Each structure stands twice: as C-alpha cells, then as structure tokens.
Structure 1
Amino acid sequence: MTTGAPAQTVHFHQKHYTAVVSGAKVSTVHWREDIHEGPAIFIFDNHPTARPLAGQVTAVETYDLAHLSPLAARQPPGTDMTNFARQLRVNYYPEMPEDAVVQVVVIATGHHGDSSLPTT
C-alpha cells in the first residue's frame, strides 16, 4: 500500500451506510471504475445525513462477471449469482454487458463507529 497517496473516492448506494460504518459490509462489486488499494473516501450517494468516511481499500480482485462466485464476491454461500449480476445491472450499472469484468473491492474504515470526515 502506498503511503501519502491522495485518497480515492469510492461511491456506495446510500442504503449501505450503516453496514459500512458497523463493519458488516467489507466488500463491494464495481464495474468500470478505477479503484486500487490505498486510502479512500467512502461517499454514500444521496444519503440525507451521511458524511464522507475515511477508509482504506485493502484489496482489489478482478473477475469475469459470468464466473463470479459467491465466495469471490464475499456473498453468503448459495447466493444466486445470476440474480446478483441482474441486481448489479438493475440498481447500479444498466449498461453492464453479460461479459463484463468486475472488481471485488475489499474495504475497511479503520474502526467501527463514526469515522466520518469533518465537514468543511
């Protein structure tokens, strides 16, 4: 991990705020985003009260969407990955093709609780 590197921005749907802050959500699947290991600012799009959170991207793994397994995506065993891919398209990436290559991004906030950045 590079120290002193500027923090990248990683966007989440607002519904993931509590899970990220609590440490329950430790990964996310993204398509066509240039995410890399290192410092990050987690942004919760359209959340009415959430401030950006300081965190880290601790790992980035690349997979063909068609071969993404529940284990690789950090989903519960038995997750229907066809439905998982469908939900990625419906909720986040409507233009994502069947043969997409996705990133599984592993995250950490450093501690659980309020790790939000001060407002300016």
Structure 2
Amino acid sequence: MVRSRHLVDNANMTTGAPAQTVHFDQKHYTAVVSGAKVSTVRWREDIHEGPAIFIFDNHPTARPLTGQVTAVETYDLAHLSPLAARQPPGTDMTNFARQLRVNYYPEMPEDAVVQVVVIATGHHGDSSLPTT
C-alpha cells in the first residue's frame, strides 16, 4: 500500500502547492481510475483548484491516488443542469439532488449552493492499479 504522506510530498514537489485531500465513496474507485468519473458535486467542502490526493473511504484495496482538481464551479442546486454537473443528458436533476442528500449530505437544503469539482488523475488505463 502506498502511504498518503509520500503522495502528498510528491504532489508538493511537482507543483509547489500543498495537496488537498478529496474523499470519495469506495464505489467510485474504478470510475475515477478509468477516467469515466471526471467530476463530483460537493456541498460545504473546501475544495479548490490544484494538486489533490483522492482517498476512497472504506475501500479494502484502493490506494490513494495523486491527481488534480482542474476546476471548481459554483451553482445553485435548484438550477444545476445535467451539463453543468457533467451528467448524461436527460438526467433527472431533482432525483440527482435527492440522491446527494440521501447518500452524502442529509442536511443539505433545497436552496443549497454546490460546487462541481472537475478532477484528473493521470492513471487512466494503468493496469497496475487495483480495480476492485
């Protein structure tokens, strides 16, 4: 297993900026590693553009990944579109907001302001990474 501190040191040496930690549910690991998941919608998290360490909470084999937050865009949840959220066209955004509450942010109000965080890992297609 790769130690998180080592990854943070490497991110700092590459860009000079401190790496932030961005947590994901374990179910997103394969999609992030493959490049299928390139964004995440967050509420009340202090995420900014720059180097990042992506942590997959409760994943039995996932190593932390170094990457970048390449953009952070702010939207009113009530007006968040599938395009802005990087979701497939036709996504039911009322259901999307409901799922954010059910799965991640139970106290998020209807009038919340959310951030669409765009990410990159550089690990796409790396067969040496665990994919379970």
Q: TM-score, normalised by structure 2?
A: 0.83
The separation in 2 between residues aligned to 1:109 and 1:115, in whole angstroms, is: 14
Query: Which has the higher mean CA deviation after the structures are superposed, 2-11 or 71-80?
Result: 2-11
Which ranges of structure 1 fall in alignment gaps of 5 or more residues?
Answer: none
Which ranges of structure 2 fall in alignment gaps of 5 or more residues?
Answer: 1-12
Partner of 1:18: 30
Q: How does 1:1-120 map to 2 (within 5 A)?
A: 3-114=15-126
Cα distance change on mapping 1:47 and 1:99 into 2, 3 Å = same
Offset at 1:112? 1.1
More helix by share: 2
Cα distance change on mapping 1:115 and 1:93 into 2, 3 Å = farther
Aligned-residue RMSD, C-alpha = 3.3
Q: TM-score, normalised by structure 1?
A: 0.92
The separation in 2 between residues aligned to 1:109 and 1:116, in whole angstroms, is: 14
Aligned length: 120
Cα distance change on mapping 1:118 and 1:81 into 2, 3 Å = closer
Does the aligned pair in 1 maintain the 2:29–2:131 contact within 8 Å?
A: no
- Structure of larger gyration radius: 2
Q: Deviations over 1:60-85 (max 9, x none)?
A: 00000000000000000000000000
Percent identity, please: 98
